[in-house]
Structure 1
């Protein structure tokens, strides 16, 4: 059994993917070109924003926004404590200070009450200037943007939606990647919409920001790449990856998002009352980058993971270590009691196989083993 079955997806769309890649090779237009332009237009239309700017990966998508917004030393950027390292890394990379915020233990997303408390604490200390909050759509579920955007407006800070895992999710029909001042996603192969290497994108309705980002991602270009008007980076999505993504985007829209939610419902039905299953608030849709259950303790979680492995079933722990405990920020002086939910989640979460091609037979196998154990 595969944790996320990219082989099954490829086999289903082999002819379309191979043909799309071959066309790029035949045309020898490997950087930019129609595949990238088409993808950006389709992504912007799907999400419901004016601009999609593709780039090399999801981490650089966020870094480009830090550069465009001139985030620097002395600035505070608020980041959920329970997430992948890159969301905090891009803050430190530009010299700013990541301020980690505990999460809601039901949704796994940033706790909005604690976010406002963290902003006020920074203001009271007077050492840093609050500039940005980066909510993460963890495991495919959009964060609480209604409340986050209210708080951001109150304190005059920007919102960067980190939808690396969230592409396809929505709140009241409004798509992930359309919230805040700008949003980013990742096309890492295992993401809800993934390519066959690295890739990422930025989404915004801001015309000036889009123009600046298109310059920054190509060495700070002006009218052309040999007219350099600012210091930028080299961060482009190549045409072969765009060609693959164009095929996969069609599949994602036509059935994959619906199919992962079918798998979610089957899991929930079979695991109800046995373990804690994912909580999806009313009017929210998750794209289920992961299907994550909660156990009662680290020992129980580890025992279940061992049992699943013995039966040939893969599982993963996202995340074994919270952001505030990462060695890179060892000297930052965080207060451990501020992260009770995150610390508990790191000890108790377990992600099960999850993808659009997971059969009901395999779902039953996973659930029977879990049921037998408890």
Structure 2
């Protein structure tokens, strides 16, 4: 079986080093907020050319905290897309705000030409989702945000290392939110997230919000490092074990992205003559290929036939968020304004793509897929 995603080979190659480092970390007696976390935060900020930032418990928490930093709450509206992971929308909902959805373009990303139509006096922010590994059109988004005095919170969960006009995603808006879920470009062996921020005061607020509202930076505060909530925060900590793992894996991120790009190039070269709609890397936007996303109207049938040949493909995302039961009652954007989102969701699927995918597996994937398309005259 060729799995859609697997960490087993990666773990086998790094097991001894990981276990040795984890053992050393645990022996030092700090499970939270120790040297590994501080080191990782410093390294991650430097790796992404960021200003300030803090690690948190998950990518979802990163979005929630970023929204809270900018005081977005009940009665406010946040513009984003429905073609995204649930956390993008659940974060907005969990701070009491309402998501407003913009349709996507043929690149599966937010259609910037349709953003302004949704802006009103309640709109407070835009969350562009750098989906599948490619950046949104940040110049146009930032221009709109500036015009209407809106915050831009980048959802970079699937785009660690991607660039827009030479600058890393996560540093282009007011805040950048990352996920370290195991399948991501930089994945832990558990949950984790990060918020990059430009301003020092907002950074201080992030540090309070992730730890119950306790002040851990400003020594002039009379309740500095005391068990006292300066504001209403949450519990969102990246533990020392995950920080240790991420510190090790961060060093390989650039090389892993190169491998992802090579696999994507292989797929494109071997599938470009088919009826599949393949990923298209837009000018001035480097694609890191968190996912290799394909569109075909017979997507469901292709997935079933590939599975019969013991090759796992996956639909991401088969159900737009605005059509899910959990959000139908609070979302008023109708299907007519999200035609491309709905259309693409019916035929989107992804091929296996991760750094340790073998060339023999890649060959089997493209040969099998080509044969299925040819035999069925698709």
TM over 0.5: yes
Match for residue 301 of structure 1 among 281, 299, 320:
299
Q: Report if aligned partners of 1:219, 1:225 keep a CA contact under 8 Å in 2.
A: no
Q: 1:22-70 CA distances to partner (integer Å, 9 max, x unpaired)?
A: 1112212111111000100011001111112000001011111121111
Q: What secondary structure is seen at the aligned counterpart in 2 of 1:82? A: coil
Unmatched segments (≥5 aa) in structure 2? 216-223, 374-378
Q: Which residue of 1 aligns with 2:342?
A: 343
Note if contact 1:76-1:132 (Cα within 8 Å) is conserved in structure 2: yes
**Equivalents in 1 of 2:85, 2:228: separation in Å?**
36
Shift of 1:329: 2.2
Map 1:116-127; keep pairs closer than 5 Å.
116-119=116-119, 123=120
Q: State the alpha-carbon separation in 2 of the partners of residues 10 and 114 from structure 1.
A: 44
Correspondence 1:138-287 to 2 at 5 A: 138-222=131-215, 223-253=224-254, 255-274=255-274, 275-287=276-288
Displacement after TM superposition at 1:12 (Å):
1.7
Q: Which residue of structure 2 aligns with residue 326 of structure 1? A: 324
Q: Secondary structure at the match of 2:171?
A: coil
Q: SS of 2:195's equivalent? A: strand
Q: TM-score, normalised by structure 2?
A: 0.93
1:133 and 2:126 are equivalent in the alignment = yes
Given the two structures, how large is their TM-score scaled by the length of structure 1?
Answer: 0.94
Runs of 4+ in 1 over 3 A off after TM superposition: none
- Structure 1 gaps of 5+ residues are none
Taking the aligned partners of 2:210 and 2:168, their CA distance within structure 1 comes to 25
Q: Secondary structure at the match of 1:70?
A: coil
Q: Is the 8 A contact 2:299 2:346 kept in 1?
A: yes
Output the CA distance in 1 between the equivalents of 2:139 and 2:100: 21
How far does the alpha carbon of each residue in 1:104-142 deviate from its partner, in whole angstroms, 9 at most, with x for none? 12x2111101112222xxx2xxxx511000011101111
CA distance in 2, matches of 1:232, 1:318: 32
Q: Is the 8 A contact 2:100 2:333 kept in 1?
A: no
SS in 1 for 2:71: coil
SS class of match (1:221): coil
Contact 1:71 1:131 in 2 (8 A): yes
Pairwise CA distance, 1:304? 0.7
* 1:115 counterpart residue number: 115
CA–CA distance in structure 2, aligned partners of residues 184 and 333 of structure 1: 26
Q: Secondary structure at the match of 2:77?
A: strand
Aligned pairs for 1:84-123 (under 5 A) are 84-105=85-106, 107-119=107-119, 123=120
- Which position in structure 1 is the counterpart of 2:219? none
Q: What is the deviation of 1:148? A: 0.7
- Cα displacement (A) at 1:4: 2.0
* SS of residue in 1 equivalent to 2:55: strand
Is residue 75–residue 131 contact of structure 1 (8 Å, CA) maintained in 2?
yes
Q: CA deviation at 1:273?
A: 2.2
C-alpha distance in 1 between matches for 2:118 and 2:362: 41
Is contact 2:164–2:286 with CA below 8 Å preserved after alignment? Answer: yes
1:225 shift after superposition:
4.3
Distance 1:177 1:19 in 2: 32
RMSD after superposition = 1.2
Query: Contact 1:104/1:111 (CA < 8 Å) preserved in 2?
Result: yes
**Could you tell me how far apart the structure 1 residues matched to 2:84 and 2:372 are?**
29
